[in-house]
Amino acid sequence: MVVLGLALLLAALSTRVMLPAAQHLRSFRDGERAPATLHTRGSCFLGRCQVEFEADGRTVVADLPVGSGFGKQSVGHRMTIRYHADDPEVAVREEDVDGGGAAVAAVLSGGAALLFLPLSVGHLVYVLRQRRADAVPGPQH
């Protein structure tokens, strides 16, 4: 049952969290390009990084969304970002507009779910057959 629960959890992670995050990152493909500087360092994959850039003549500090694939860089690191002109409060590194780390995580967690699901079903079938064999009385002498 634990393996089945793990398979379902990984499948939910892939379909409910990582795939939408990857689609959100892809929505910036046609966004405005701008040079930016890493403003706040954190776990970018979890959406805890911020970048600073100029948009329409004003300085904007924008969040990098969940699923951003970003290594350990220090504050002040330069990069190119994309943002939607109507909402510059969220930006995406140009390297992430194809899905970033979220796409990789979706594939890995989905693949792991596909691995664990048949294992758990196979084990469940085995246990049910064992119970049935134990319940059927054998020939008595």
Give dist(CA 3, CA 37) in Å, integer. 43
Q: Residue 81: which of 51, 105, 123 has the closest Cα?
A: 51
pLDDT at position 70 over 70: no
Grade residue 29 by pLDDT with cuts at 50, 70 and 90: very high
**What pTM value is reported for the model?**
0.71
Give dist(CA 22, CA 116) in Å, integer. 23
pLDDT at position 52 over 90: yes
- The helix/strand/coil state of 88 is strand
